[in-house]
Chains A and B, each alone.
Chain A
Amino acid sequence: MNTPRMDASGQDDLDRRLRRAFRGIDTREGFEARLMARLEAEAAFHPQPDLSAAKIRADAEYRSARGQLERWVKALLRMLVLDSVAAAAALVAATLALLEVGTRLSASLPSVSGMTGLLEIIAGPGLVFGVLLALSPLLATRLTGSLRSG
């Protein structure tokens, strides 16, 4: 492509003339006042930005608080799962061991056979409590799920 070339003084002269040519092309006086009037008119149809900003801040705070609560519940759940499984297993094992000991004792020592009924009374609720304890993480998960959906 052929491009005309000029010397530095010609370039300076052209630059000066172009700057001068565009001088004075600007918005009319009162641009900002007209804009403010338009924004005031807009306010009738759109929510006030300061109110929107307050709502956005409140939403952000709510999300942050909820996130914190969820993190706390998750951490608690992790602990609860391990603890409850261990406790339930120990309780069931202890109950079964107690029943076994009771059965053997009553077989070899007829004089303590009256205690076997007592052991069975203790072992029944112990087993039920152990099962409930083992199920507690499941219940807690459901509770967290309803918290999230709420």
Chain B
Amino acid sequence: MTDTEIAELLKAGRPEEALARLLQAYRRRVFALAFSFLRDRDAAEDVAQEVFVRLWRALPRYDGRASLSTWIYTITRNASVSALRARRTESSLEDPLVLQAVEESAAEVPDDAAADRASLLRLVDSLPEKQRQVVILFYMDEHSHEEVSEMLAMPVGTVKTLLHRARARLAASAGVVQSSEAI
């Protein structure tokens, strides 16, 4: 799906079809980006809904000149930051809803694997904010460095650096470190 196709659907007076295509292409990404900010499945879903509502309202004005993905990610980041500010308590990946989702998807795997997942999520949760966001986006849907860079509006090099540092921290904490070296 290209931005031009969406613009043409809108021009042809088929906004419902345009929205359906956008949902198909961006639902997971918008949710993942919101989740990387909020670390709360329900809150991230609320933000994702809000993003698509805003998108729906603004779609008639879209003419295909601006990049849709940039626009969608900007709306998502802004909505996530607003939601984060509106929340009184910090949530974490240890949120019961997140752990429940993990457990549901881990129903067929042995208990020790489920425990490993829970402990890894706790480790990710303890990372500095930007590192945590990069890790969540990189591993949640296996987005590329470039995609993560676009989603977070930061240079690809920064994404790689943050990911490298986060992996190193996680590896050290998860007990897979082989050696240490000053960089």
Q: Does B59 lie within 8 Å of A49, measured CB to CB?
A: yes
Contact among A2, A3, A18 for B139, CB-based, below 8 A? A18
Q: Does B178 lie within 8 Å of A56, measured CB to CB?
A: no
Q: Does B60 lie within 8 Å of A42, measured CB to CB?
A: no
Q: Does B164 lie within 8 Å of A3, measured CB to CB?
A: yes
B: number of interface residues (CB 8 Å): 55
Distance in angstroms between the alpha carbons of A24 and B105 in the assembled complex = 5
Q: Which of A5, A46, A50 has the most CB of B within 10 A?
A: A5
Q: Shortest distance in angstroms between B23's beta carbon and chain A's nearest beta carbon? A: 6
Q: Does B53 lie within 8 Å of A39, measured CB to CB?
A: yes
Q: Does A6 lie within 8 Å of B15, measured CB to CB?
A: no
Q: Shortest distance in angstroms between A103's beta carbon and chain B's nearest beta carbon? A: 71
- Mark A39-67 against chain B: 1 for CB-CB distance below 8 A, else 0: 10010001001101110110000000000
Write the chain A residue with the least CB distance to B44: A27
Q: Shortest distance in angstroms between B149's beta carbon and chain A's nearest beta carbon? A: 19
Distance in angstroms between the alpha carbons of A69 and B159 in the assembled complex = 53
In the assembled complex, A17 has its CB within 8 A of some CB on chain B: yes
Using a CB-CB cutoff of 8 Å, which residues 10-43 of chain A contact chain B? 10-11, 13-15, 17-28, 31-32, 34-35, 38-39, 42
- Give the secondary structure class of A's interface: helix
Distance in angstroms between the alpha carbons of A11 and B31 in the assembled complex = 27
Contact among A5, A21, A53 for B179, CB-based, below 8 A? A5
Q: Does A25 lie within 8 Å of B45, measured CB to CB?
A: no
Write the chain A residue with the least CB distance to B174: A14
Write the chain A residue with the least CB distance to B48: A27
- Mark B72-95 against chain A: 1 for CB-CB distance below 8 A, else 0: 000000000000000000000000
Q: Does A35 lie within 8 Å of B23, measured CB to CB?
A: yes
Contact among A13, A46, A53 for B15, CB-based, below 8 A? A53
Q: Shortest distance in angstroms between B164's beta carbon and chain A's nearest beta carbon? A: 7
User: Measuring CB to CB, which residues of chain B are less than 8 angstroms from any residue of chain A?
Assistant: 10-11, 13, 15, 23, 27-28, 31, 35, 41, 44-45, 48-49, 52-53, 56-57, 59-61, 98, 101-102, 104-106, 113, 116-117, 120-121, 124, 135-136, 139-140, 142, 164-165, 167-172, 174, 176-183
Contacts A/B (CB < 8 Å), 29 sampled: A1-B183, A2-B182, A6-B171, A7-B178, A10-B176, A13-B176, A14-B170, A14-B174, A17-B174, A18-B124, A18-B135, A19-B142, A21-B116, A21-B117, A22-B136, A24-B105, A25-B98, A26-B31, A27-B31, A27-B44, A31-B27, A31-B49, A35-B49, A38-B53, A39-B56, A42-B57, A50-B13, A50-B60, A57-B11
User: Measuring CB to CB, which residues of chain A are less than 8 angstroms from any residue of chain B?
Assistant: 1-7, 10-11, 13-15, 17-28, 31-32, 34-35, 38-39, 42, 46, 49-50, 52-54, 56-57
